[in-house]
Structure 1
Amino acid sequence: MITFAIGLSIVLLIVILFLLFRIGTLASIFRGSSQRAVGTTKVSNKVNSVLLLLFLLIGGAAFFWSFADSWDTMNQPLASVHGEWTDELFWITMVVIGIVFVLTQILLFWYSYKYQHQDNKRAYYYPHNNKIEIIWTMIPAIVMALLVFYGWKTWTNITSAAPEDSVVIEVMGKQFNWMVRYPGADGKLGEAHVSYVDAVNEMGVNFSDPNSMDDFMPREIHVPKGKPVLLKIRSRDVIHSVFMPHFRLKMDAVPGMPTKFWFVPTKTTAEMQNETGNSSFNYELACTEICGQGHFAMRFLVVVDEEDEFEEWVASQKPFSEEHPDLLAKFTLDSQKQLVLENKSEKAEEVKKEL
């Protein structure tokens, strides 16, 4: 509180000094004293130029301090293969634009001080120079082209086709939670469609599809360390966004437009707990698209296991169709009705042909 009061007092003092200079200038103008106005302007220019230099020094120091203080928060521990590519691209870009930013800010504030108004100085008229124009146009263009090419190459690697032996997980976002589905022993996810959604079958799985019979829907995501994992992403209502910061993974969940993202985890949850010194550490899936009033609640636990532990966990899961046999019976009845309708339609077509 004391520090805040001192800071506020300093700010008020600066404002008062500025107002006094302005009042003096205006008073001299009303009195018709141009000499007084010029003198006051000189002092004002000097003060302003010095204040700009102070702002550069103090603001620059505060910027670097805040950067260093937030370093651990900004740089979450890395736990995926492609995350190394993402981080490398990010920091190369940051270094390039950071150097340009620092240099331009130093020149901006230094020139404001050096070229402050003086009565005995006149600005040199320098309207055009083709050589300089070409230099400061070509250098940024080349640097930006290299950064774009490097980014395109990295993005191409990240979004390439997933390996055939990938662990497939379907992730569906809805207001306001995530749901996931794994294929069973057959390794194939059953068909799903919004028309099948109800209070029990929230993911809209078609249990008439044989591939759906062994699919299971756990309350947390488990993935094996060192194996590729393919996320098949969709949304049931509005746009959501799948975000797993430690894997450098982010992909929007768009209604009506399935998306996907694959990655390879490199550290188990237990290893990350040891690395961070936090025994309660957990990976998580969060939503980074503001999707409504309950957006904050869209968090889902992610566990990275050793491969044998992951296989044990998969074996312990119970298919959704076994947990909800009534739902399965409903789909069987619907399938029978559909078959009857199809038979009737075929017979009607045959009668039409005969006629």
Structure 2
Amino acid sequence: MSGFLAVLVVVLIFIVIFQIAKASEYVSILKGEKKAREQSNRINGFLLIAFLVLGLIGVYWCNDLLKGKILGESASVQGEGVDNLIYVTLIITGVVFVLTQIALFWFAFKYQEKEGKEAFYFPHNNKLEIIWTVIPAIALTILVAFGLKHWFQLTSEAPKDAMVVEITGKQFNWIYRYPGKDGQLGRREFSKIDPAKGNELGVDWTDPLSKDDFIPTEMHLVVGKPVKMIIGSRDVIHDVGLPHFRMKMDAVPGIPTTLWVTPKFTTKEMKEKTGNPDFTYEISCDQMCGSGHYSMRGVIVVETQEEFDKWVTSQKSAYDLANPAPAAPEAPKADTTQKTVAANIK
């Protein structure tokens, strides 16, 4: 009996709640809240259209204002292709963005609540599924194909006349090594690394090729001449970032990576182009590598062949710096005592 009463109480509670809800709905209709809601929807619909128009104008204005002013023109021949790929990607995604935003806000305006109009239930459409799956897939495949084309070009074998520079990352700076007159870098061994003895890279001094290699404090490149960069790391993973050249490559411990690039403008020309007398090409680390990651910055000087040759002649080989020649013994001083005594006797 008590169970029946409990069920009856629950049923009565639901009936009371239902009746209160219905009464509230009737009161709302009598007070005109439905019309107020419809009017609010119309206002929101017009505001959405205004937001769409102003938003698209803002996007166009920002693009026109900032285009070409963040990094400027690519300073390498290969970077031109990277820039073109970025522009194509922005055009495709920009068109999709504009069309989808117009559709989104227009639908919110057009299909707002109206008297006597019911929502249409649209569960599935094979044609639409194929369209919005196949078209993006084809577009992305084309973009990936162009990206791979540039990637394979940058990581392919450099031209035979390319100069060679080795870049090694360590916490938290870059070490550069150039071959000497023989044009070949000497052998390196990790076990031979000894900064205390001036051998930060572990160069094998017994290798004849290493005798004329030199290690400067900044990288120098020749304008218009391809350069092959042999990239590595002495400790953790770093990343050689060349923003002005539109290049980057991971520096991985034990696994040398390479890329090659051809500078277009000297540092002096870039100072004139940018209007910045303090402009410098830089190497940034684009991989979080520790607490000093923010300070891992290198400098690149792009110059003419004559200026580069003059700079090279001013460099001393790393072998000579790490293995200075012993000082020559002083010549014995002549003993003039006997001569002085003999002169005094006379």
Which TM bucket (shorter chain)?
0.7 to 0.9
1:317: Cα distance to partner? 0.9
Q: Deviations over 1:5-30 (max 9, x none)?
A: xxxxxxxxxxxxxxxxxxxxxx9986
**Does 2:248 correspond to 1:250?**
yes
Does 2:188 correspond to 1:192? yes
Q: Alignment partner for residue 257 of structure 2, among 256, 259, 266?
A: 259
The structure whose Rg is larger is 2
Q: 1:98 to 1:272 in 2, by over 3 A?
A: same
Q: Identify the residue that residue 206 of structure 2 maps to in structure 1.
A: 208
CA shift at 1:43, angstroms? 3.0
Identity between Structure 1 and Structure 2 (%): 48
In the alignment, what sits opposite 1:64? 60
Match of 2:167, SS state, is strand
C-alpha contact (below 8 Å) 1:28/1:37 kept by paired residues: no
Q: What's the CA shift string for 1:26-52, capped at 9, x where partnerless?
A: x99868624144234323322332332
Please report how far the alpha carbon of residue 286 of structure 1 lies from its aligned counterpart in structure 2 after TM superposition.
1.1
- Deviations for 1:297-332, whole angstroms, at most 9, x for unmatched residues? 111110111112212211221001111216x99xxx
Match of 2:323 in 1: 325
What amino acid sits opposite 1:33 in the alignment? Answer: V
Residue type at the aligned position of 1:261: L
Give the whole-Å Cα distance in 2 for the aligned partners of 1:266 and 1:29.
79
Q: CA RMSD in A?
A: 2.4
What is the CA–CA distance in structure 1 between the aligned matches of 2:288 and 2:130, rounded to whole Å? Answer: 44
Alignment partners' CA distance in 2, 1:223 and 1:180 = 12
Aligned to 2:331: none
Partner of 1:159: 155
Confirm or deny that 1:54 pairs with 2:50: yes
Q: How far apart, in 2, do the equivalents of 1:325 and 1:75 lie?
A: 43
Partner SS state of residue 81, structure 2: helix
Which residue of 313, 316, 324 maps to 1:315? 313
Distance 1:39 1:193 in 2: 82
Find the counterpart in structure 2 of residue 88 from structure 1.
Answer: 84
The C-alpha deviation readout for 1:167-223, integer Å capped at 9, x for no partner, is 111101111111111111111111122212222322222212221111110011101
> What amino acid is the match of 1:39?
K
Tell me which moved more, 34-43 or 105-114: 34-43
Structure (1 or 2) with the greater helix fraction: 1
Q: Pick from 300, 303, 318: which aligns with 1:302?
A: 300
Aligned partner of 1:345 in structure 2 is none
Q: 1:30 to 1:198 in 2, by over 3 A?
A: farther
Is the CA contact (8 Å cut-off) linking 1:76 and 1:245 kept in structure 2?
A: no
Deviates more, 1:313-322 or 1:46-55: 46-55
Structure 1 residues 214-255: Cα deviation after superposition (integer angstroms, max 9, x where no partner): 111001110111111011001111111111111111111112
Q: How does 1:1-355 map to 2 (within 5 A)?
A: 33-35=27-29, 36-199=32-195, 200-325=198-323
Query: Residues 92 and 31 from structure 1, CA distance in 2 versus in 1: closer, same or farther, beyond 3 angstroms?
Result: closer
State the 1:127 CA deviation. 4.2
Amino acid in the other structure paired with 1:42: E
Deviations 1:275-294 (A, max 9, x none): 22222211111111121221
Q: Within 2, Cα distance between the matches of 1:119 and 1:194?
A: 80
SS at match of 1:118: coil
Q: Secondary structure at the match of 2:86?
A: helix
Q: CA 1:73–1:291 in structure 2 vs 1: closer, same or farther (change >3 Å)?
A: farther
TM-score, normalised with respect to structure 1: 0.78
- Is the Cα–Cα contact under 8 Å of residues 28 and 34 in structure 1 kept in the other structure? no
- With normalisation by structure 2, the TM-score equals 0.80
Q: In structure 1, what is the Cα distance between the partners aligned to 2:71 and 2:22?
A: 57
Structure 1: gaps of 5 or more residues = 1-26, 330-355
